[in-house]
Structure 1
């Protein structure tokens, strides 16, 4: 009897139709993704190991990396850009993400009026082009025709105004805060979705125990949304170390003043394509891109294999 049942199950398993249509539907997306992402990445990694010698592409191994880290001029530009990139990332982590969490917590209040309007207004800048955002903020912060001095004068703070985008000490902070203004809607919406995903039974149990208001958020909701906060953090890391558009729009390819806003993205652009009298160097540009890829890969791996395992226990 058991042998008959097992033979019938094996017959049903073998007779199950193969779902070839899944591969058919996935094939176009796979081709596009490979052409746009995978093949350029492989070519970039390959190009970083080659250099042009006597007009010929020659395999040089890790010689380009030795130049990047060992040559005085290349190393100075690279480490400056890397330091600025970390500052750019830290400002987003300390300002953008906590602000996004706070906004999501306030928008999740059930009795809040005009919550839909607030969500739309805060998220709207993320839909704008980097070119538009950069141009608008250059006008707003301009010492000549900007509106910032006028509004600061209304509240008696005009003495604190300065050409923030033109000073090496404040340019990077100013550009970072512009980026925060544009992108704060993304962590807000992700955290807001995580807050809405908390079961009502948990909230009702907390209210029965007398845990309400901000105490409920800190003790109940915040631990439960830690996986979402971790995801927002790693997306912020990847986005910041791939950043280029906004700084190029606001400060140009030279990322002035005096390279104060130069990050890895702008350094890669000038190196690969050249700028003004500087000729482009494809091999060194690919080397910088490879280092950027390795940094991002290390950060993502640290999150996936280290941090994410510790926060999974908070998930339902």
Structure 2
């Protein structure tokens, strides 16, 4: 994902005209954090699942160099039931996979309609089951798919919102998030691991500015825009008094936001988390936000404190991802 910003946060003279910002999703990627935060070192590249995990780790590592936002989300625990067998539809590639749902491991099934890859030499794959992976052997290639990949890719009927637990930025020279060493993220993962699977939803935003100001020096940097957006999303999903953040952090954020809003003469920020083609993983919810695939709200800052209010979606087209 783009989103690099190697410059420091240098405040410019106060903007000569009010600014209104609008943030829409430009890219969105989900990573199953439980698979990556194992603390067991690099996966074996000779194994198809190991190669899958290495690709995921490489992609997540790349986000640590960019100024992107992430949501730590949990979804109901889901596993493949390796004690039961898959079944095929007659004369088709409809594959029924046995699953275990929730902490109580309720038995169920999901049915997916496979497409033959271009490089495949088998018309119907050999199937191997692991508790978290379905491995398809197409002869000339192995295709590992996590159980949650299946939920994202196919209409499985397993609908559940992704509960947002925490909002943060990916940029970190130490790469603690990608290494599974981020304390707050690991604490939340441990708190919910008995009944939930944990994911990082990493998003890049396109932030447009409406203003009568013409001096380019008055334009906010990528860092500033992402900082402002992060604070708006924290308020929206974590509420007016986030329990997971210290008073020191909250005080620092208020001071920074008060200065930024004054410097850039920021009237308001409109945030639209909806986009065309969003799947069920993007049905986001939290203790403070109802479940929805399109969260659309306006945020204003008063003395550094964010205040949010929902906006009607009528007349606002969904954005298209820029991938």
Is the strand fraction higher in 1 or 2?
Answer: 2
Is the helix fraction higher in 1 or 2?
Answer: 1
Please tell me the TM-score bracket, short chain as reference: under 0.3
TM-score when normalising by structure 2? 0.26
Q: Which has the higher contact order (CA 8 A, sep 6+)?
A: 2
TM-score when normalising by structure 1? 0.26
